[in-house]
Structure 1
Amino acid sequence: MNKVVLVTGANSGIGLALCERLLSQDSEGLQLCLACRNLQRAQAARSALLTSHPTAQVALLHLDTSSMASVLTAAQEVKRRYNRLDYLYLNAGIMPNPQFDVKAFFKGLFSSRIVSMFATGEGILTQQDGVTSDGLQQVFATNLFGHFLLIRELEPVLVQAGQTSRLIWTSSSNARRSAFSLEDVQHQRGSEPYSSSKHASDLLSLALNTHHNSQGLYSSVICPGFVMTNLTFGILPSFPAFLWTLLMPVFWLIRMFTNTFTLTPYNGAEALFWLFKQKPESLDPRAKYHSLTSGLGNNYTQPRKMDIDLGTSEALYEKLLQLESEVRQKLKQKRIPESS
């Protein structure tokens, strides 16, 4: 039976690299669905995949995780198309309006902090968040809550008797406990919404395992390492292309001393691809699975304990359930005037 795999944010970067790697392994045994906000880019990605794998089953789905109406509509479409879902890769994410501390960056280049600075962005990177039409913080909605609502809506095809299904989150080394607060889960009062949202996804994954492992649904978290993607380039949107070119040899040199500099989307997708082949019962729910690349370019996956605890994960889960109820009620109220 073909495995049904849905990947959010699949039109570029790590998501697209994962799709290519999955099809390269078994293009005949998969039903692959690219769930993307921009359908034009998604169509281009699908065409590229079919050029390499002309017999593959590759479908498109319009999904904007920052819009809860879009999430609900997309989930209904998934349930209409498929009677089961084996893998749900929760990969879509944004880092809007990044503020880059150039002075701290160049100071860090000539210090012992250089590796951790590149790996986590700590001390050099903040963001200016916005608010969605649903009244949610944009980063929280896109990176975390939209995915949470998607999981909730897709439970009928994820949780079935005799079926084992997987949730796999693309987290980050930038996920830090210090940026997250249970009293401000949407990070309205802080300047590191991206870091907060990624730490929250780590916590949520643990809670999902607590509640759903007995039903055959398992959740895992990965870190892609330092990868050159559109998100990375967006950190310095005005950075001249030639300076990125000049920095690349520095990055390759740094990789001789650290395995977290995966650099390419293909390498960054290593842990995502590795988890596809593992038995979920054998995995540690408190571990983050890191894509790593040696100085010689060899890719491998390594588990590392996450800085999370069960109490906080449960408290976050309850808060998200309450927020889900409020959001659904608001959406229902919006629809009533439209239909009257």
Structure 2
Amino acid sequence: MKKVVLVTGANSGIGLALCERLLSHDSQIHLCLACRNMQRAKAAKSALLVSHPDADISLVRLDVCSIKSVFEAAEEVKRRYERLDRLYLNAGIMPNPQISLKGFMNGLFSRNVISMFATGEGLLTQQDRVTSDGLQEVFVTNLFGHFLLIRDLQPLLCQPGHVSQLVWTSSSNARRSAFSLGDFQHSQGVESYSSSKYASDLLSVSLNRHYNTRGLYSSVICPGLVMTNLTYGILPSFFWTLIMPIMWLIRLFTNTFTLTPYNGAEALFWLSTQKPEALDPRAKYHSMTSGLGNNYTLPRKMDIDEEMAEAFYEKLLQLENRVRKKLKSEEDELDAYRSYLHQIE
């Protein structure tokens, strides 16, 4: 039976690079691209088939920002497959990133320049918004939508005698100082991206605690500093033209500047070659690229409080219960309205 691998956010950047690497390593897998934009998903599939003409690739529409879309995608996946071997939780956003030009110029000529570019600390803020589901957009896209997907796909992920793997794309920008258990959606702050990525680190630890006995294992990776559409949106294009030579120069001295999506996908790919049950549940696996362009994966312990992780998991379960009830109520109201229209026709 072919291994079934599902990748969210697979139509560009690190997600697409990961798909290319997975197919190059094992052309016998069934690869499912879970994407919001189906036109771009079809283009990604076509591109993959150029280099892997015999690849088994399917598409499913998934907008992790929409609760209804998550549930519909999960139902579609359950109709298609009997089990799911690996689920890459890669989709993410950083909406309306704002740069402090003063902080940028000061950091550019300081000893902290590498850390500034690698983490965005003290440099980046985001303008979040509330979705139609009443949730913070960054939180639901980067974390909660994926959490609901995992919960709905349990029948495929947790099967007796079978080991499945979850892999989260986190970030070096995931900082404990940006996360608050009292405001876990980060509605009161300006570092929603950092908060959501630290939340994924917390959640991964809790998922292992609750699901390892059922054969499901979760890991977290950091792709390093990668130039993707998300990254390029942070600064005007002319800034990147000016500083890219500096970025490549810095790459000679720091291995966290992976720069290309292919290099950034290194840890994601490496985890696919490991036994999930043998991995450290409290480690974040970092994609690294040497100055000479050699890729490798480096595990580092995460700054995680297990009690906080468990408390956060319970809050997510409570939120899940509320959104499911709300969605059910809205569907019941819609059904009642349709019935009324049918009666008066």
Q: Give me the TM-score of the superposition, normalised by structure 1.
A: 0.98
Q: CA shift at 1:276, angstroms?
A: 0.2
From 330, 333, 336, the counterpart of 2:329: 333
1:198 aligns with 2:194: no
For 1:255-334, list aligned pairs within 5 A: 255-334=251-330
Q: Secondary structure at the match of 1:197?
A: helix
Q: Aligned residue for 2:250?
A: 254
Which amino acid in 2 is paired with 1:117?
M
Which amino acid in 1 is paired with 2:7?
V
After superposition, the C-alpha distances for 1:126-165 in whole angstroms (9 at most, x for unaligned) are 0010011100000000000000000000000000011100
Q: Aligned residue for 1:214?
A: 213
Q: CA shift at 1:319, angstroms?
A: 0.1
After superposition, the C-alpha distances for 1:89-115 in whole angstroms (9 at most, x for unaligned) are 000000001111112112111101101
> What CA distance in whole angstroms lies between the structure 2 residues aligned with 1:215 and 1:333?
32
> What CA distance in whole angstroms lies between the structure 1 residues aligned with 2:131 and 2:164?
31
After superposition, the C-alpha distances for 1:162-214 in whole angstroms (9 at most, x for unaligned) are 11000000000000000000000100100000000000000000000000101
For 1:3-82, list aligned pairs within 5 A: 3-27=3-27, 29-82=28-81
After superposition, the C-alpha distances for 1:45-79 in whole angstroms (9 at most, x for unaligned) are 00000111011011011000000000000000000
Higher-Rg structure is 2
Q: Aligned residue for 1:159?
A: 158
> What CA distance in whole angstroms lies between the structure 1 residues aligned with 2:269 and 2:200?
19
> What CA distance in whole angstroms lies between the structure 2 residues aligned with 1:25 and 1:246?
37
Q: CA shift at 1:240, angstroms?
A: 3.0
Q: CA shift at 1:246, angstroms?
A: 3.1
Q: Secondary structure at the match of 1:43?
A: helix
Which amino acid in 2 is paired with 1:13?
G
Q: Aligned residue for 1:137?
A: 136
Report the count of equivalent residues: 336
> What CA distance in whole angstroms lies between the structure 1 residues aligned with 2:244 and 2:112?
18
> What CA distance in whole angstroms lies between the structure 1 residues aligned with 2:130 and 2:97?
16
Q: CA shift at 1:280, angstroms?
A: 1.2
Q: Aligned residue for 2:85?
A: 86
1:122 aligns with 2:121: yes
Moved over 3 A (4+): none
Q: CA shift at 1:296, angstroms?
A: 0.5
> What CA distance in whole angstroms lies between the structure 2 residues aligned with 1:247 and 1:20?
29
State percent identity of aligned pairs: 73
Q: Secondary structure at the match of 2:288?
A: strand
> What CA distance in whole angstroms lies between the structure 2 residues aligned with 1:99 and 1:247?
17
Gaps of 5+ in 2: 337-345
Gaps of 5+ in 1: none
1:180 aligns with 2:176: no
> What CA distance in whole angstroms lies between the structure 1 residues aligned with 2:278 and 2:152?
27
Q: Secondary structure at the match of 1:117?
A: helix
Q: Secondary structure at the match of 2:128?
A: coil
> What CA distance in whole angstroms lies between the structure 1 residues aligned with 2:70 and 2:21?
26
> What CA distance in whole angstroms lies between the structure 1 residues aligned with 2:237 and 2:205?
41
After superposition, the C-alpha distances for 1:229-277 in whole angstroms (9 at most, x for unaligned) are 00001112xx134x42332211111011110000000000000000000
Which amino acid in 1 is paired with 2:264?
G
> What CA distance in whole angstroms lies between the structure 1 residues aligned with 2:81 and 2:165?
16
After superposition, the CA RMSD in angstroms is 0.7
Which amino acid in 1 is paired with 2:37?
N
> What CA distance in whole angstroms lies between the structure 1 residues aligned with 2:300 and 2:102?
32
Say which is worse superposed, 276-285 or 264-273, in terms of deviation: 276-285
> What CA distance in whole angstroms lies between the structure 2 residues aligned with 1:163 and 1:137?
35
Q: Aligned residue for 1:229?
A: 228
Q: Aligned residue for 1:240?
A: 237
Q: Aligned residue for 2:343?
A: none
Which amino acid in 1 is paired with 2:72?
T
Q: Secondary structure at the match of 1:111?
A: coil
> What CA distance in whole angstroms lies between the structure 2 residues aligned with 1:190 and 1:240?
27
